[in-house]
Structures are given as structure tokens and as C-alpha cells.
């Protein structure tokens, strides 16, 4: 086996097990919080880094919600939950956060300048052996490989929201990623219970966001352009058996990340509708402090969203017809 200098000696480690035990997650938001909690639950030692103490406090509060979910839905017991908490630590000091990391997963906002800045800041302080992965939804590892200062130790590892149930992780290389990096990162994914999905070529949006982002954008277009009420967009998706629609999913993704993705790609692609959709989300939600599930309100109000209540998909009483017709025709 040939190794780059960064990996010398690693071939002696036991195969079929990564040497990635100490994880640092950058960004304690929706996905960073989930990756951190789940990895700790699976036995990794995890440091969570964010730029403000408030963000870390919000992450800790979210972890208490995850504890309930893992107890009730994942089959965890109290001992495992206590051990998960023990394996987690939190800091706003970047050098402290990454100083002992075997793997850093970056989950900062989907804004290229913010990601590039974090990678550049980190490049001088990372231990030589540390691998780095981006959890970006739509950006490429090659966009940031030079900023990391260690392109051969960098790839994408992309998780799904609701990590305990959406247990897949997409692995994507750029042209300079070393084989050993991909081996270790893929082993890590399996160790924390993720089905690895190899993305065979660099692709914005990987596999899942190649269809998921267009779905959310199409749903948002119907609302932005006044074609349909949000709950009716979701009804059309849910009738027939699905438990959540695209606008409920947008609340889960979070309005900030939804906005970041649509604003970036609207601008990049010169797509006026996507830009209008981003502007709608900003005005209707972000400017009012409504971030979706993270703030308990977006298209729906949580923890008891209308789409999950009995009756949401039921055949209505015929007495609703005058109201529906009034929506259809203002004349
Ligand atoms: N939300 C999803 O469903 C989802 C799913 C898969 C991947 N992702 C990706 O994960 C990344 C994070 O998305 P999110 O939805 O968790 O965002 P988020 O807005 O919920 O969280 C981002 C966090 O990053 C912090 N942050 C901002 N600047 C930072 C910096 N310079 N250094 C460290 N932290 C910083 C913020 O304070 C915030 O806590 C994005 O690339 C996104 O595309 C999101």
C-alpha cells in the first residue's frame, strides 16, 4: 500500500476500523448539533465549536430534545444517554476545539465565504494527522480544498437531517483527496451507523440534494407566486401516505439554510425565481425571527404542526366550498 507522508504509519492500524476517535464539529446549528450528538452516542469523543456561547447553549438545549428522541425512538437507555453527554464538550475557542481532533466535520452556514474563512483559520492550527470533511449541502470539496491547506486529507461527508433515522452519509472526493482519507472517513461513517453513499464524481448537491433542493424550490415557487397555500402544497405531497410535505421539510432544514442555498444558487445560476424565493423566505420568516423548527415556527408552529394533526388530509365537509371558491376567483 502506498501512503502520503501524512498517513505514514496508519497502515499498521487495525483494518476495518478507522483511527478517527476524536471528532470536532464546527457549527453547532441544525446539522452540526445532530452530527455531534449522534457521533457521541455512537462512542466518539466530540468537541462542538461555534462562534458564540449562545449558539452553544442552543445546541445543548437541542441535545436534550435529542436525548428524548433517542430514548423513545432509537431504543437508547439512560446509561447510554448519560455516556453520550459525557463524551460531548463545547467551546468557542477554535484552537482548543481542533487541537486534538482526528476528524473535523465542518457544518457552518452554507455561505462560501464563511466556510473558506473557517478553513483558512483552521489550517495553521490543525494537528498534522487531522482529516477534514465538509457537510455542505450544495458546495463542492474542490471549492475549499486549497483553503484547508491539506487537500489530500479533505473530502465531503454529507449527512441527512434527522440523522438517527436518515442514516446515510454521502462521501465525495475532490481530485486531490487521498484514498486513505476516503477509507477512514467511510469507515467512520459506518462506525456511527451511517449507510455510506459514494458519490462517484463531484456534484453540487451530491445525490440527495440534486433532487431535494429542486423539490423544496418548486414548492416554494408555488407559494412565492401565490399559486397555492403552503398547507395545500404539502397536502398534495402527503395524500397517499407520506408523513411530511416539502414545506414541513423546509421548516426542518431551517429557514436560514434554506435561504442561504436559494440565495447562493439563485445568484450563481442567474435564476430569478430562485432569488425571488430566497427573498420571500427572508421577508416572511428570517426578518421576523422565524427560523422554522429551530425557533418553533416557520410554515408551521411546533411542537404540534398542523400537518401532523388528525384531519389534515381528511376529506373536508362540503360546507367549505364557498371559502375555497372565494380563494379561486376574486370576481
Ligand atoms: N439543515 C439541514 O437540513 C442540512 C442538512 C445537510 C447539510 N446541511 C449543511 O450543514 C451546514 C450547516 O447547516 P445548518 O442547517 O446546520 O445551519 P445553521 O444555520 O443551523 O447552523 C450554522 C451554525 O454555524 C455557526 N457559525 C456561523 N459562522 C461560523 C463560523 N465562522 N465558525 C463556526 N460556526 C459558525 C452559527 O452560529 C450556527 O450555529 C451547511 O453547509 C448546510 O448546507 C444542512
- The pLDDT tens digits of the residues spanning 157-181 come to 999 999 999 999 999 999 999 999 9
Q: Which atom of ligand 1 is nearest to the CA of 108?
A: 24
- pLDDT tens digit sequence for 189-211: 999 999 999 999 999 999 999 99
Return the percentage of the chain with pLDDT > 70, whole number.
95
DSSP secondary structure of 303-331: SS-GGGSTTTTSPPPGGGHHHHHHHH---
Determine the Cα–Cα distance for residues 309 and 129; give it in Å rounded to an integer.
50
147/13: higher pLDDT: 147
From the CA of 156, how far away is ligand 1's center (Å)?
15
Q: Does residue 31 contact residue 201 with C-beta atoms inside 8 Å? A: no
Query: Does some domain include residue 85?
Result: yes
161 assigned to some structural domain: yes
Whole-angstrom Cα distance, residue 123 to residue 199? 26
pLDDT confidence of residue 25: 98
Same domain, 90 and 235: no
Instruction: Enumerate residues 6+ apart whose C-beta is below 8 A from 147.
Output: 115, 116, 119, 120, 123
Q: According to the model, what pLDDT value does residue 330 have? A: 67
**Final residue of a structural domain among 168, 199, 230:** 199
Query: Are 170 and 236 within one domain?
Result: no
Give the domain CATH number at 219. Answer: 1.10.1040.10
Q: Does residue 5 carry a pLDDT above 50? A: no
Nearest Cα to Cα of residue 128 among 12, 25, 26, 6: 6
CA of 46 from ligand 1 middle (Å) equals 17
Is 11 a member of any domain? yes
How far from each other are the two terminal CA atoms of the chain, in whole angstroms?
76
Whether residue 229 sits in one domain with residue 137: no
Span from the CA of 111 to the centroid of ligand 1 (angstroms)? 9
- What the block records as the C-alpha cell of 191 is 462506525
pLDDT band (50, 70, 90) for residue 1: very low
Looking at the structure, tell me whether residues 222 and 183 fall in a common domain: no
Within this chain, do residues 79 and 169 fall inside the same structural domain, yes or no?
A: yes
Q: What is the pLDDT of residue 18?
A: 84
Taken in order 287, 259, 107, 125, is the CA torsion positive or negative? negative
Q: Nearest C-alpha to atom 25 of ligand 1 is from which residue?
A: 27
With respect to residue 150, please indicate whether it lies within any of the assigned structural domains. yes
Q: What range does the domain containing 283 cover?
A: 209-298
Which cell numbers in the block locate residue 308?
401532523
155 shares a domain with 215: no
Encode pLDDT of 39-70 as tens digits.
999 999 999 999 999 999 999 999 999 999 99
Domain contains 304: no
Query: Above 50 in pLDDT, residue 21?
Result: yes
Question: Per the structure, how many domains does the chain have?
Answer: 2
From residue 116, give the alpha-carbon distance in Å to each of 112, 144, 182.
6, 6, 21
Amino acid at each position: 500500500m502506498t501512503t502520503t507522508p501524512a498517513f505514514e504509519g496508519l497502515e499498521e492500524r487495525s483494518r476495518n476500523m478507522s483511527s478517527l476517535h476524536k471528532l470536532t464539529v464546527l457549527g453547532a446549528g441544525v446539522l452540526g448539533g445532530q452530527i455531534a450528538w449522534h457521533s457521541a452516542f455512537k462512542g466518539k469523543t466530540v468537541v462542538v465549536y461555534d462562534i458564540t456561547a449562545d449558539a452553544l447553549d442552543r445546541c445543548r438545549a437541542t441535545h436534550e430534545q435529542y436525548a428524548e428522541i433517542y430514548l423513545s425512538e432509537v431504543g437508547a437507555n439512560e446509561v447510554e444517554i448519560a455516556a453520550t453527554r459525557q463524551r460531548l464538550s463545547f467551546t468557542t475557542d477554535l484552537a482548543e476545539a481542533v487541537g486534538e481532533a482526528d476528524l473535523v466535520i465542518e457544518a457552518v452556514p452554507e455561505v462560501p465565504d464563511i466556510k473558506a474563512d473557517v478553513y483558512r483559520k483552521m489550517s495553521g492550527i490543525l494537528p498534522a494527522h487531522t482529516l477534514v470533511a465538509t457537510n455542505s449541502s450544495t458546495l463542492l470539496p474542490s471549492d475549499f480544498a486549497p483553503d484547508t491547506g491539506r487537500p489530500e486529507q479533505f473530502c465531503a461527508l454529507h449527512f441527512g437531517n434527522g440523522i438517527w433515522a436518515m442514516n446515510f452519509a454521502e462521501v465525495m472526493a475532490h481530485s486531490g483527496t487521498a484514498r486513505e482519507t476516503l477509507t477512514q472517513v467511510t469507515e467512520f461513517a459506518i462506525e456511527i451507523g451511517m449507510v455510506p453513499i459514494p458519490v462517484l464524481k463531484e456534484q453540487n448537491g451530491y445525490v440527495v440534494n440534486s433532487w431535494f433542493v429542486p423539490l423544496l424550490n418548486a414548492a416554494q415557487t408555488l407559494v412565492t407566486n401565490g399559486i397555492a397555500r403552503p398547507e395545500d402544497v404539502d397536502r398534495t405531497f402527503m395524500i397517499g401516505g407520506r408523513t411530511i410535505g416539502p414545506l414541513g421539510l423546509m421548516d426542518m432544514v431551517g429557514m436560514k439554510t434554506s435561504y442561504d442555498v436559494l440565495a447562493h444558487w439563485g445568484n450563481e445560476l442567474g435564476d430569478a425565481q430562485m432569488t425571488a424565493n430566497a427573498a420571500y423566505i427572508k421577508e416572511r420568516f428570517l426578518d421576523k425571527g422565524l427560523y422554522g423548527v429551530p425557533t418553533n415556527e416557520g410554515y408551521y408552529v411546533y411542537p404540534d404542526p398542523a400537518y401532523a394533526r388528525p384531519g389534515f388530509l381528511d376529506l373536508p365537509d362540503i360546507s367549505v366550498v364557498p371559502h375555497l371558491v372565494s380563494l379561486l376567483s376574486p370576481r
